């Protein structure tokens, strides 16, 4: 896994896709994004880690769906008309993995500048610092750029089935 | 295919021929008098020599020629196929393999001398480069109108090849410019460099019927011609190459494996599209659409079956290789080993077979090297001096079980334990059951042999075996009885790509149960449902079958259906009932792997895409049955 904690700045700029998760604005490098899908039926995978608890059919392949809200302790929200799956391509230990990320709303592709970006704040957040690559200020608001590799590093293992309940 | 290098085609063919020769020779060791086997070896060597020369593998051809001559004489009864001779020829096979790959390992002369010596010992005179053998240079040119008269040059060349090693060069100097070519006339001449033990008269005999219309010279070979020849040695005419490459087994063609994979993917897509069509036709009550949908369903399923059968090859392909391995192992260890195989006709997907080779080599080595005792030890413990290593394959449901067993000393659990403690795999004094101790063998870096032998004991083995088998979605079981031997069972799923499945619904989720493991479906009666609060068994024809409620296992939130069904599944030995809400019907299931995020979940072997575009998970029956058994034990203990 390449260390993606550094953002590939191009002349101190980077193109990102911004989206909303429970009221917070997140951003991903635009070159990671394959496709934005409208709502699809999800299939729950019993026993899977809650972060990636279901799968969807993406162009004939079965890909996992991840809910970043769980990594950041945000309140889960039901699906709405604005909900989308952002399909991204991740490089995991030399293997290309497609993952669908849930988003409450997809905003736009925009440019972040290096000058406006800061490392994760040391205080003032409940979020795990290593899950954040940087926080960018824009129009008086904050945009969170998550560290997907770090977040998904825990996804390989099963949490075990619910087990028979008697 | 047409653009591939002809030499590669030859290499594949040569590899097969060498394997065939090896098998025949090994059989010959056991049945020295078998004339059929001798003839098989002879024919295969002959073909190898012929095609070798054709594709420019001169050294190979010459070498094969010597072995062929040896077997020709065995065939004619001049010498006997003594174990020494068989052994000597076996010894040359690796050299031949190296030659096929274009490598010269420099052992050729010594090996030939060994064959020669064995021949002499077997009651004949050595044949390698014997004085009676001579090189001839033959030039012949047919008259222009000979084709019109019905003379065919190719059979003549074939006849010459029968005489010995033959190198044919076409003489193209008389071919006129294209616009003045008369297609019925023969412009070609041939120069043949022949190494044979036959007299000149035999060569002349070949041309007996064409001597009137051909210009023919036969003269002893000189070095000068040799030099000229090497310059144009590769210029056999395309027509000749074509005839020669056709000489494989009739009706069989070689296809690169990637093309089959590609075709398999297309069939997979077709099957998915077909199930969508089926679903649409079910909702629209149009009789025409319905009949087309059924027709397509039938075609898709037939296409799928033939596609699968194309990829299936008998496991004998793999087993054959191991006989040589055991032969060599016996020699190196000084043990006498009886190698038995059974179930060679069991078929498996070709890619699976290839990936099984290395694990099996390792297991057989372990059995012969670690498992079997030396003859002295065996005699002392009252066993037959000859150790046995058995390799068997059989199909059980949707799996093939391959087992490697030996009648040796078995696995010494205390040694395994001591070793594991030494290597820090377990803490000293930890309590482990016997089967847990056996599992330690699969830990990386584990090896019980004190000295590293040439054969095994480098500690890179069993963990690799386990990983490879798990990569094929299979499992490894090991069992051992002290003093009586040990057995390793590999269970491999039969297919990798498409299976027939039974689609069921549990709560909101849909799941596929591989149809091959389904035995029957019964209803869960209210009475059983209530009674099973205490014990999850149902009685099926006087047998207790434990059942698992998938709703509980999968923690479904919605309420159960009023009439739940039980699907009884089996792994060949054990049966378990799976309680589901609804049985939706059969489904041609294209297996899609689950991503690494879900790879750790053993209950599912993959996923599939349904007709409506949704995803259903495929149940891994062996793991579910294992879960069912644990449940049963837990319940029994609770009573």
Q: Which uninterrupted H or E stretch holds A151?
A: helix A148-152
User: Around Cβ B166, how many Cβ atoms within 10 Å?
Assistant: 23
How many degrees, rounded to 5, is the angle at CA B527 between CA B524 and CA B533? 85
Nearest to A65 by CA among A81, A45, A80: A45
CATH assignment at residue A99: 2.40.50.180
Distance from C-alpha of B67 to C-alpha of B119, rounded to nearest angstrom: 10
Q: What is the number of domains present in chain B? A: 5
pLDDT band at B533 (very low <50, low <70, confident <90, very high): low
Per-chain mean pLDDT for chain A? 80
Per-chain mean pLDDT for chain B? 77
Same domain membership, residue B539 and residue B417:
no
Q: pTM of the predicted model, to two decimals?
A: 0.52
Higher pLDDT, B251 or B264: B264
Which residues lie closer than 8 Å to B24 by C-beta, 6 or more apart? Answer: B37, B40, B41, B44
Q: Does position A60 have pLDDT exceeding 80, yes or no?
A: no
Same domain membership, residue B468 and residue B406:
yes
Same domain membership, residue B552 and residue B538:
yes
User: Around Cβ B461, how many Cβ atoms within 10 Å?
Assistant: 22
Distance from C-alpha of A45 to C-alpha of B296, rounded to nearest angstrom: 32
pLDDT band at B445 (very low <50, low <70, confident <90, very high): low
Tokens 């050595």 sit on residue? B126
Mutate which of A1, A37, A47, A151 to test chain B, going by most B C-beta atoms within 10 A? A47
CB contact B592 to A (< 8 Å): yes
Q: What are the chain A neighbours of B508 within 8 Å (beta carbons)?
A: 44
Question: CA end-to-end span of chain B, whole Å?
Answer: 67
Q: What are the chain A neighbours of B553 within 8 Å (beta carbons)?
A: 46, 161-164
Q: Which domain holds residue B385?
A: 315-447+462-493
Same domain membership, residue B467 and residue B365:
yes
CB contact B534 to A (< 8 Å): no
Residue B234 lies in a domain: no
Write the residue in B509, B592, B602 that is nearest to A44 by C-beta. Answer: B509
Residue B226 lies in a domain: no
**Residue B604 CB burial class (10 angstroms; 0-12, 13-18, ≥19):** buried
- Position B191 scores a pLDDT of 83
Q: Does position B78 have pLDDT exceeding 80, yes or no?
A: no
- Position B513 scores a pLDDT of 92
Q: What is the number of domains present in chain A? A: 1
Taking a C-beta distance cutoff of 8 angstroms, is the pair A112, A18 a contact?
A: no
Taking a C-beta distance cutoff of 8 angstroms, is the pair A72, A21 a contact?
A: yes
Q: What is the pLDDT of residues B122-152, one digit of tens each?
A: 554 444 444 456 777 888 888 777 777 777 7
Strand order in the sheet with A95-103: A33-37, A84-92, A95-103, A61-66, A54-58, A43-44
Mutate which of B548, B615, B633, B638 to test chain A, going by most A C-beta atoms within 10 A? B615
Distance from C-alpha of B23 to C-alpha of B34, rounded to nearest angstrom: 13
What is the average per-residue pLDDT within B609-627?
83
Distance from C-alpha of B154 to C-alpha of B246, rounded to nearest angstrom: 14
DSSP secondary-structure letter at B115? H
User: C-alpha distances in angstroms, B584 versus B276, B433, B505?
Assistant: 15, 43, 7
CA distance B548 to chain A (A): 8
Mutate which of A1, A39, A41, A46 to test chain B, going by most B C-beta atoms within 10 A? A46
Write the residue in A62, A97, A163 that is nearest to B615 by C-beta. Answer: A62
Q: Which uninterrupted H or E stretch holds A118?
A: strand A117-118
CATH assignment at residue B468: 3.30.565.10
Among B68-82, B160-174, B375-389, B454-468, where is mean pLDDT lowest?
B454-468
Distance from C-alpha of A114 to C-alpha of A98, rounded to nearest angstrom: 28
CATH assignment at residue B605: 2.40.50.180
How many degrees, rounded to 5, is the angle at CA B470 between CA A160 and CA B306? 115
Same domain membership, residue B442 and residue B335:
yes
Q: What are the chain B neighbours of A49 within 8 Å (beta carbons)?
A: 597
Residue A125 lies in a domain: yes
Distance from C-alpha of B556 to C-alpha of B511, rounded to nearest angstrom: 13
Same domain membership, residue B523 and residue B388:
no
Distance from C-alpha of B157 to C-alpha of B335, rounded to nearest angstrom: 49
Distance from C-alpha of B368 to C-alpha of B329, rounded to nearest angstrom: 7
Q: What is the pLDDT of residues B93-119, one digit of tens each?
A: 888 888 887 776 667 777 777 777 777
What is the average per-residue pLDDT within B477-491?
87
Distance from C-alpha of B50 to C-alpha of B104, rounded to nearest angstrom: 19
Residue A2 lies in a domain: no
CA distance B278 to chain A (A): 18
Higher pLDDT, B202 or B376: B376
CB contact B253 to A (< 8 Å): no
Q: Does position B228 have pLDDT exceeding 60, yes or no?
A: no
Q: What are the chain B neighbours of A97 within 8 Å (beta carbons)?
A: 595-597
Q: What is the pLDDT of residues B289-341, one digit of tens each?
A: 999 999 998 998 888 778 878 878 888 878 888 888 888 888 888 888 888 88
Write the residue in B599, B601, B615 that is nearest to A56 by C-beta. Answer: B615
Q: What are the chain A neighbours of B593 within 8 Å (beta carbons)?
A: 62
Q: Does position A158 have pLDDT exceeding 60, yes or no?
A: no
Same domain membership, residue B538 and residue B613:
yes
Q: Which domain holds residue A51?
A: 13-154
Write the residue in B548, B603, B609 that is nearest to A57 by C-beta. Answer: B609
- Position B243 scores a pLDDT of 40
- Reading the block at residue B519, the tokens are 């035995």
Q: What are phi and psi of A10, to 5 degrees?
A: -110, 105
Same domain membership, residue B146 and residue B92:
no
Nearest to A44 by CA among B555, B53, B121, B154: B555
Nearest to B308 by CA among B592, B498, B474, B502: B498
Residue B129 lies in a domain: no
CATH assignment at residue B79: 1.20.120.160
How many degrees, rounded to 5, is the angle at CA B420 between CA B333 and CA B477? 70
Residue B235 lies in a domain: no
CB contact B272 to A (< 8 Å): yes
Residue A33 lies in a domain: yes
ipTM of the complex: 0.82
Question: CA end-to-end span of chain A, whole Å?
Answer: 42
- Rounded to the nearest 10 degrees, the angle between the axes of helix B58-75 and helix B108-121 is 10
Q: Does position B357 have pLDDT exceeding 80, yes or no?
A: yes
Residue A30 lies in a domain: yes
Cβ contact, residue pair A45, B594, below 8 Å: yes
- Position B451 scores a pLDDT of 44
Cβ contact, residue pair A55, B607, below 8 Å: yes
Residues on chain A bordering chain B, Cβ-to-Cβ distance under 8 angstroms: 40-41, 43-49, 52, 55-57, 60-64, 66, 92, 95, 97-99, 152, 155-158, 161-165
Q: Which of B31-35, B48-52, B84-88, B280-284 has the highest mean pLDDT?
A: B280-284
Higher pLDDT, A112 or A94: A112
Distance from C-alpha of B403 to C-alpha of B479, rounded to nearest angstrom: 11
Write the residue in A95, A158, A164 that is nearest to B601 by C-beta. Answer: A158
Q: Does position B1 have pLDDT exceeding 70, yes or no?
A: no
Write the residue in A46, A57, A98 that is nearest to B615 by C-beta. Answer: A57
User: Around Cβ B80, how many Cβ atoms within 10 Å?
Assistant: 14
String of b and e for B250-281 (b: at least 16 CB within 10 Å)?
eeeeeeeeeebeeebeebbebbbebbebbeeb
What is the average per-residue pLDDT within B18-44?
80
Q: In Å, how far from its chain's centre is CA A88?
A: 9
Cβ contact, residue pair B592, A44, below 8 Å: no
Residue B229 lies in a domain: no
Among A44-58, A123-137, B287-301, where is mean pLDDT lowest?
A123-137
Residue A161 lies in a domain: no
Mutate which of B266, B533, B555, B595 to test chain A, going by most A C-beta atoms within 10 A? B595
Q: In the A/B pair of chains, how many CB contacts fall below 8 A?
A: 101
Q: Which pairs from B320-328 meet CB under 8 Å and 24+ separation?
A: B320/B19, B320/B22, B320/B23, B321/B19, B321/B357, B322/B360, B322/B361, B322/B364, B322/B391, B323/B22, B323/B23, B323/B26, B324/B22, B324/B26, B324/B90, B325/B361, B325/B364, B325/B365, B326/B364, B326/B368, B326/B389, B327/B26, B327/B29, B327/B90
**Residue B363 CB burial class (10 angstroms; 0-12, 13-18, ≥19):** buried
- Position B229 scores a pLDDT of 42
- Position B639 scores a pLDDT of 59
Same domain membership, residue B400 and residue B278:
no
Cβ contact, residue pair B509, A41, below 8 Å: no
DSSP secondary-structure letter at B118? H
Is A72 in a helix, a strand, or coil? coil
How many degrees, rounded to 5, is the angle at CA B154 between CA B148 and CA B155? 100
Cβ contact, residue pair A57, B613, below 8 Å: yes
Nearest to B93 by CA among B25, B12, B9, B10: B25
Residue B1 lies in a domain: no
Residue A29 lies in a domain: yes
What is the average per-residue pLDDT within B49-55?
77
Write the residue in A60, A152, A157 that is nearest to B600 by C-beta. Answer: A157
Nearest C-alpha in A relative to B533: A166
Residue B487 lies in a domain: yes
- Reading the block at residue A79, the tokens are 């699906």
Same domain membership, residue B281 and residue B172:
no
Which residues lie closer than 8 Å to B354 by C-beta, 6 or more apart? Answer: none
Cβ contact, residue pair A43, B602, below 8 Å: no
Please say which residue of B63, B94, B121 terminates a domain: B121
Distance from C-alpha of B69 to C-alpha of B72, rounded to nearest angstrom: 5
Tallying the residues shown for chain B, one arrives at 639
Nearest C-alpha in B relative to A95: B596
β-partners of residue A29 are A16
DSSP secondary-structure letter at A145? E
Among A83-92, B397-406, B567-576, where is mean pLDDT lowest?
B567-576
Same domain membership, residue B442 and residue B332:
yes
- Side-chain half-sphere exposure of B15, counting CA atoms within 13 A: 10
Among B181-185, B448-452, B578-582, where is mean pLDDT lowest?
B448-452
Nearest to B638 by CA among A164, A5, A12: A164
CB contact B508 to A (< 8 Å): yes
Distance from C-alpha of B494 to C-alpha of B516, rounded to nearest angstrom: 10
Nearest C-alpha in A relative to B265: A60
Q: What are phi and psi of B103, to 5 degrees?
A: -110, 140
Nearest to B548 by CA among B568, B562, B563: B568
Nearest to B547 by CA among B534, B536, B531: B536
Q: Which uninterrupted H or E stretch holds A21?
A: strand A13-21
CA distance A157 to chain B (A): 5
Is B75 in a helix, a strand, or coil? helix
What is the average per-residue pLDDT within B595-621?
84
Q: What are the chain B neighbours of A66 within 8 Å (beta carbons)?
A: 597
Residue A72 lies in a domain: yes
Residue A95 lies in a domain: yes
Distance from C-alpha of B601 to C-alpha of A160, rounded to nearest angstrom: 7
Which residues lie closer than 8 Å to B237 by C-beta, 6 or more apart? Answer: B170, B172, B188
Distance from C-alpha of A90 to C-alpha of A82, rounded to nearest angstrom: 24
Same domain membership, residue B275 and residue B180:
no
Mutate which of A55, A58, A98, A101 to test chain B, going by most B C-beta atoms within 10 A? A55
Q: What are the chain A neighbours of B602 within 8 Å (beta carbons)?
A: 158
Write the residue in B552, B614, B631 that is nearest to A41 by C-beta. Answer: B614
């Amino acid at each position: 896994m390449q260390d993606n904690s550094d953002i590939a700045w191009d002349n101190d700029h980077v193109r990102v896709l911004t989206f909303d998760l429970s009221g917070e604005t997140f951003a991903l490098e635009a070159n990671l994004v394959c496709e934005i899908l409208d709502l699809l039926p999800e299939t729950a995978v019993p026993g899977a880690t809650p972060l990636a608890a279901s799968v969807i059919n993406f162009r004939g392949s079965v890909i996992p769906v991840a809910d970043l809200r769980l990594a950041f302790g945000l309140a889960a929200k039901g699906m709405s008309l604005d909900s989308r799956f952002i399909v991204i391509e991740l490089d995991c230990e030399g293997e290309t993995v497609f993952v669908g990320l849930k988003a409450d709303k997809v905003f736009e592709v925009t440019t972040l500048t290096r000058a406006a970006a800061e490392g994760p704040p040391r205080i003032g957040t409940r979020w795990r610092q290593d899950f954040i690559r940087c926080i960018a200020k824009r129009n008086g608001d904050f945009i969170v750029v998550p560290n997907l590799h770090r977040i998904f590093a825990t996804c390989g293992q099963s949490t075990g089935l619910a087990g028979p309940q008697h | 295919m047409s653009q591939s290098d002809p030499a590669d085609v030859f290499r594949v063919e040569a590899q097969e021929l060498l394997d065939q020769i090896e098998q025949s020779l090994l059989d010959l060791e056991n049945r020295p008098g078998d004339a059929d086997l001798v003839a098989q070896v002879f024919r295969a060597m002959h073909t190898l020599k012929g095609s070798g020369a054709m594709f420019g593998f001169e050294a190979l051809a010459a070498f094969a020629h010597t072995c062929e001559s040896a077997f020709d004489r065995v065939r004619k009864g001049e010498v006997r196929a003594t174990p020494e001779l068989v052994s000597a020829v076996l010894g040359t096979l690796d050299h031949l393999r190296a030659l096929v790959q274009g490598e010269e390992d420099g052992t050729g002369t010594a090996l030939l001398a060994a064959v020669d010596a064995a021949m002499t010992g077997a009651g004949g005179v050595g044949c390698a480069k014997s004085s009676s053998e001579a090189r001839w240079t033959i030039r012949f040119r047919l008259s222009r109108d000979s084709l019109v008269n019905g003379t065919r040059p190719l059979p003549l060349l074939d006849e010459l090849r029968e005489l010995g090693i033959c190198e044919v060069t076409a003489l193209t100097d008389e071919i006129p410019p294209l616009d003045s070519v008369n297609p019925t006339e023969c412009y070609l001449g041939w120069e043949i460099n022949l190494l044979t033990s036959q007299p000149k008269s035999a060569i002349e005999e070949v041309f007996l019927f064409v001597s009137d219309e051909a210009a023919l010279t036969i003269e002893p070979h000189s070095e000068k011609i040799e030099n000229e020849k090497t310059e144009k040695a590769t210029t056999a005419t395309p027509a000749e190459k074509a005839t020669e490459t056709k000489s494989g087994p009739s009706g069989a063609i070689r296809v690169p494996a990637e093309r089959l994979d590609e075709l398999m993917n297309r069939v997979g897509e077709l099957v998915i599209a077909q199930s969508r069509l089926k679903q649409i036709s079910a909702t629209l009550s149009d009789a025409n659409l319905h009949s087309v949908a059924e027709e397509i369903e039938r075609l898709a399923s037939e296409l799928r079956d033939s596609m699968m059968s194309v990829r299936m090859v008998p496991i004998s392909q793999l087993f054959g290789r191991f006989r040589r391995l055991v032969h060599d192992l016996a020699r190196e260890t000084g043990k006498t080993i009886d190698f038995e195989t059974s179930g060679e006709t069991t078929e498996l997907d070709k890619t699976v077979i290839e990936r099984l080779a290395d694990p099996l080599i390792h297991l057989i080595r372990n059995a012969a090297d670690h498992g079997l005792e030396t003859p002295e030890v065996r005699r002392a413990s009252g066993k037959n001096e000859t150790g046995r290593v058995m390799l068997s394959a059989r199909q059980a449901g949707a799996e093939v079980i391959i087992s490697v067993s030996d009648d040796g000393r078995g696995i010494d659990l205390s040694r395994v334990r001591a070793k594991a403690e030494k290597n820090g795999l377990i803490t000293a004094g930890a309590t482990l059951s016997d089967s847990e101790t056996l599992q330690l063998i699969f830990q990386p870096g584990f090896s019980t042999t004190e000295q590293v032998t040439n054969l095994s004991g480098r500690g890179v083995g069993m963990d690799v075996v386990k990983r490879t088998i798990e990569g094929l979605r299979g499992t490894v079981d090991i069992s051992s009885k002290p003093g009586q031997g040990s057995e390793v069972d590999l269970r491999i799923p039969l297919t990798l790509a498409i299976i027939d499945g039974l689609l069921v619904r549990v709560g909101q989720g849909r799941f596929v149960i591989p149809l091959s493991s389904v035995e029957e479906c019964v209803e869960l009666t209210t009475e059983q449902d209530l009674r099973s609060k205490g014990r999850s068994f149902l009685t099926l024809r006087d047998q207790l079958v434990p059942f698992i409620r998938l709703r509980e296992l999968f923690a479904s939130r919605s309420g159960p259906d009023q009439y739940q069904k039980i699907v009884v599944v089996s792994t060949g030995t054990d049966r378990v009932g799976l309680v589901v809400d609804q049985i939706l019907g059969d489904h041609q299931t294209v297996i899609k792997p689950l991503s690494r995020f879900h790879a750790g979940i053993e209950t599912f072997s993959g996923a599939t895409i349904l007709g409506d575009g949704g995803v259903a998970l495929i149940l891994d029956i062996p793991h579910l049955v294992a879960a069912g058994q644990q449940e049963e034990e837990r319940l029994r203990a609770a009573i």
